[in-house]
Amino acid sequence: MKCVVGIDLGSTTTKAVLLDDRGAILGRGITNSRSNYEVACSVARIEAITSARLDLLERALGGAEASTVLPRLREAFRLELYLADLEDLKKTLLGHASQAPLHQRKALEGAAKHVLDVIERNSPALFLSGSPRKSAFFRDLAGAAFVAEAEHLATKGEARFEPLVALYDRAILEVETRMRPHDTRRLLLRALRWLEADGTIAHLRPSIVQAIDAATSQRIEEATVVGTGYGRQTLPFPKEAVRSEILCHGRGAHRSFGGTRTVLDIGGQDTKAIQVDGQGVVTSFQMNDRCAAGCGRYLGYIADELNLGLHELGPLALRAKKPVKVNSTCTVFAGAEIRERLALGQQREDILAGLHRAIMLRAMSLLARSGGVRDELTFTGGVCNNPMATKILRELVDENYGTDITLNIHPDSIYMGALGAALFALDDLRAGRVGELPNFIRMHHTEAVA
C-alpha cells in the first residue's frame, strides 16, 4: 500500500498522518516532542503506521468480533508497548545505578529495582481496568509511577528520594532518544493472551490470529513526506519537503470541515488566527509567537504550579463559582500570581476560570486582527481538548459575532497541521515531485512490518 506522510513537529507533541493515494486517512500517530527531533518524527510515524494496521485489523475482523474484541485488544496492545518501553527503561536505569559510588551502589540498585518491579506489577491496571489514563505518553505514565513509589520508599526511610529520581531523569532521556521500531504482529499476539486469560474468547482465537496476520502482512510504503510545525526549521527533512504551519493548519481544518473560513490554532508555543477561502487557501493570518502567554505552554506552567495534570485544568475550572478577573497572563510571573491569589483565599477553580478566560481573550484579539470570525470557526491545536477553553471560546464568539457561527471542535483537531502537511505531500505525489525521503523513513523502508 503506497501512502504519503504529513508530520507536524510541535513544541510539546509531534503528530503524523498517513494518507493513501486517493487522500483517505490511513492512520494517525502522536508522541511527545523530545530533544532529538528525528526520533520524535520517527516515533510519530510508527504510531501512525500502527494506527493504520489496527484499522486494517478492524476491517479484517469485521462484525461483532470487531466491536467486542478490538477495543480490549487495542488496550492490551498498548500495555505490551508500555511493558517493552519499561524493560528498556529498567535496563538503562539499572545500568546507571551500577555506576554509582561503591558506598551507595547496593542500596540504590535495590531501591531502583524495587520501584521498577512495582511499576511493572501495576501496569496492567493502567490499561485493562477501563479507567481513562492521565496521559498517552510513556514518559508521563512511567514518571508519575516512579515518583510515587520513590516517595513511598523515602517516607518509610528505605531509600533517598533525590538520587532515585535523578536516576530516572538520566535514564528516560536515553530511552527517549533511541528509535525502536516494534513488531506489531508479535505484540498483538502477546496482547491477545491478556484477553484469553478469562476464557471468554478461546473460540475466537483462530479468526483473530488470521485477522492479525492479514493486517500486519500488508506492506505500507511511504512515497513522499511533508513536514510542518513550530519546529519545522529543525526537521530532518529536505528543504523542499517543509511547509508553513499556517498553510497546513488552514488546509487541514478545511479538509475536515468544508465550511471552515476561520481557524484558531492554540498550540504549545504559539497561537494562530487564520482566514481561509472556499478551497482552504490562506488569505490572512495573525499569530502570537513572541512569548508563551496564552498558549498551551502557559497552561503547563499553571498545572505544574498547582501540582495538577494538564488534563485536569479544564474540568477543574468548569467547577468555578466566582471566576476571578486576571489582568496578566505572563508566564514568567504565573507562579507568583497564583500563590498570591491562593494566599488571599481565592479558590483554585475560580483562579483557573479567570486564567482560561484571559487566555481566550488574547485569542479573540488575534481573531479580530486577522479579519474576525466568518461562517464556521474551526478550533485546532492541543488546547482545543480543554473543555473550559472551548466553553469560553463559544461564549466569546456568541458575544462578539452572534450565535449563528458554527464552532467546529473534534478530538482529532490536534492532527490538523499534520493532515494539511499530508495533503501537500499528496499534491507532490500527484505532480510527480517525489523527493528524497528523510533518513529515518529510508532506514525502515525495507522492513516488512513496522
In a domain, 217, yes or no: no
d(CA 386, CA 301): 15
- The pLDDT of residue 181 is 76
**Domain C-terminal end among 176, 207, 231:** 176
Residues 417, 28: contact at Cβ < 8 Å? no
CA separation, residue 152 to residues 124, 159, 266, 305, 440 (Å): 20, 9, 38, 22, 41
Same domain, 259 and 156: no
- The pLDDT of residue 7 is 95
d(CA 22, CA 423): 10
Q: Which residues pair with 282 in a beta bridge?
A: 276
In a domain, 400, yes or no: yes
- The pLDDT of residue 184 is 93
Same domain, 172 and 281: no
Dihedral Cα 363, 364, 366, 369, nearest 10 deg: 180
**Domain C-terminal end among 153, 176, 199:** 176
Same domain, 261 and 403: yes
- The pLDDT of residue 447 is 46
| 3-class secondary structure, 3 | strand
Taking alpha carbons only, the member of 271, 303, 305, 266 closest to residue 385 is 266
Contacts of 197 (CB under 8 A, 6+ apart): none
Same domain, 155 and 266: no
The alpha carbon dihedral of 370, 376, 380, 383 has a sign of: positive
d(CA 286, CA 363): 10
In a domain, 395, yes or no: yes
How many folded domains does the chain comprise?
A: 2
CA separation, residue 431 to residues 270, 368, 420, 426, 427 (Å): 33, 37, 17, 9, 6
Same domain, 167 and 251: no
- The pLDDT of residue 446 is 46
What value does the CA radius of gyration of the chain take, rounded to a whole number of Å?
A: 23
Same domain, 290 and 147: no
Contacts of 182 (CB under 8 A, 6+ apart): 46, 50, 81, 84, 450
In a domain, 231, yes or no: no
Expressed in percent and rounded to 5, the helix, strand and coil fractions of the chain are: 60, 15, 30
In a domain, 430, yes or no: no
d(CA 105, CA 327): 51
b/e burial code for range 30-58 (CB count within 10 A of at least 16 → b): bbbbbebbbbbbbbbbbbbbbbbbbbbbb
Same domain, 308 and 398: yes
Q: Which residue has the cell 476571578?
A: 324
- The pLDDT of residue 331 is 56
- The pLDDT of residue 255 is 95
Contacts of 111 (CB under 8 A, 6+ apart): 150, 153, 158, 159, 164
- The pLDDT of residue 330 is 63
Phi, psi of 14 (to 5 degrees): -120, 130
Same domain, 249 and 105: no
Same domain, 167 and 249: no
Q: Residue 207 is placed in which grid cell?
A: 479468526
In a domain, 360, yes or no: yes
In a domain, 305, yes or no: yes
CATH code, domain carrying 329: 3.30.420.40
**Domain C-terminal end among 176, 200, 218:** 176
Same domain, 262 and 403: yes
pLDDT along the chain (450 residues), means of 10: 92 92 95 86 93 93 81 94 95 94 90 96 91 82 93 91 94 87 92 86 87 93 91 82 93 95 88 94 85 68 79 89 74 70 86 88 92 93 89 95 93 92 96 83 56
Same domain, 292 and 402: yes
Sheet of 13-20: strand order equals 25-32, 13-20, 2-9, 221-228
In a domain, 54, yes or no: no
CA separation, residue 67 to residues 47, 58, 62, 131, 202 (Å): 22, 8, 8, 19, 17
Same domain, 168 and 285: no
The range of the structural domain enclosing residue 311 comes to 245-418
